[in-house]
Amino acid sequence: MTLNDYFEPISLEKPEYGGILKQNHFCRNITIHTPDIPIHNLKKFKIALIGVPESRAAFQDGIEDAPDIIRNELYRLNFLEKKINIIDLGNLKRGKEPKDTYYGLRDVILELNSYNILPIIIGGSQDLTYGIFLAFEYFKQPYTFSTIDYQIDVAFETYNKINYQNYLNSIILENKYLFEYINIGQQACFASADNSDLFENLFYENIRLGILRNNIIMSEPYLRDSDIVSIDFSSLKHAEAPGQAIASPNGFNAEDICQMARYAGFGENIKVFGLFDICPIQDHNHVTSSLAAQVIWYFLDGYSIRIDEMPSKNPEEFKKFIISLNDDNTLIFYKSLLTQRWWCEVPVRESKPRIIACSEADYISASKHEIPDRWLKMLKKLN
């Protein structure tokens, strides 16, 4: 395939930068697909920025303008201390119908994956996550998918057509290779009993906002294990991010979302990172678009210092802890001597144990003979 056929090039005259660009600014340290510089020689890149101006299945109009405005804010930030080869591919051309855009996004992700390039997707509405799902199902390998959202976007009563509120319907019903789904930031007042039962039956994870309040590091193990991270900006407080599709007085703050982006970037498994549901027409002084740009920056900052470590790969770099629950059962934990991160073993019937990311709090709970919820849910899933 030819990626140039999928993308609209970027016009550098279009953004209003509001100042003189310096040599250390972001846009001067990446390759940009412009009318004069077509997409070529992808082998040298590690990261690709992709704008997707698609909002036909969104809650309101205007979301399609977000990629250009976020790009404008990102270009003005200082570049990373540790250099990464990044290409901005421009904006993905919209299909005749939203489903055509989903499949176009799938094709692009598949092509980038063949070069081991990690796409950062700037939406557009969060139903575009379905396009990411299509690519991962094509890989035919187990994967972990995480959303950061104030609610679970399942609504089977509106299943006939994919939109921002029900795109998870298709993912749940159609998937063959999804190993784990995690939602981070559920607000209790938006929780549905039916959806909670569904998650319980499928052994999916649903991490409440209240659990993470003033303890955002609890999100790190889930993000570390994730192959896909999809962020709905409506998961933030309206006061922190006024340019969101659905406003709420509660949610994550700006520091929380930037920290979680850095956790995701530092994780060894991440293959696609996406930001969605940013509405510029509601965004006073582009505060939300500026925050989205910083979220991308912190993701890249984490990516730039990532370390490929697993207890099974380099055991000499880990400290092993064995906790006896009773005569027949033990819990095994590993702590990295380099990054201080934690993992634990989950036994699998007639197979090798599976090692999953966990937190120090999980180890402390286990040392008090309290079985960690994440370990128990994974045990049920695997057995």
Last residue of a domain, one of 304, 338, 354: 304
pLDDT digits (tens, 9 = 90+) for 60-77: 888 999 999 999 999 999
Task: Give per-residue pLDDT as tens, 308-364.
Answer: 999 988 899 999 999 987 767 789 999 999 999 999 999 998 889 999 999 999 999
- Boundary residue ending a domain (304, 329, 355): 304
Nearest to 377 by CA among 173, 182, 171: 182
Average pLDDT of the chain is 93
| 212 and 340 assigned to the same domain | no
| Element holding 200 (H helix, E strand) | helix 193-202
In which domain, by residue range, is 328 found? 315-382
**Within a domain: residue 201?**
yes
Q: pLDDT, tens digit, for every residue of 150-176?
A: 999 998 776 678 998 899 999 999 999
Count each helix (H run) and each strand (E run) in the chain, helices first: 11, 14
Same domain, 362 and 329: yes
Is residue 23, in this structure, part of any structural domain at all? Answer: yes
pLDDT band for position 368 (cuts 50, 70, 90)? very high
Q: Looking at the structure, do residues 103 and 180 belong to the same domain, yes or no?
A: yes
DSSP states along 279-342: -GGG-GGGHHHHHHHHHHHHHHHHHHT-----TTT-GGGEEEEEEESSSS-EEEEEEETTT--E
- H or E, element range at 351: strand 351-358
What is the count of structural domains for the chain? 2
Specify the pLDDT at position 49: 98
Query: Of 254, 284, 304, which residue sits at a domain end?
Result: 304
**Paired sense of beta strands 330-336 and 318-324, if any:** antiparallel
Is the entire prediction scored with pTM above 0.85? yes
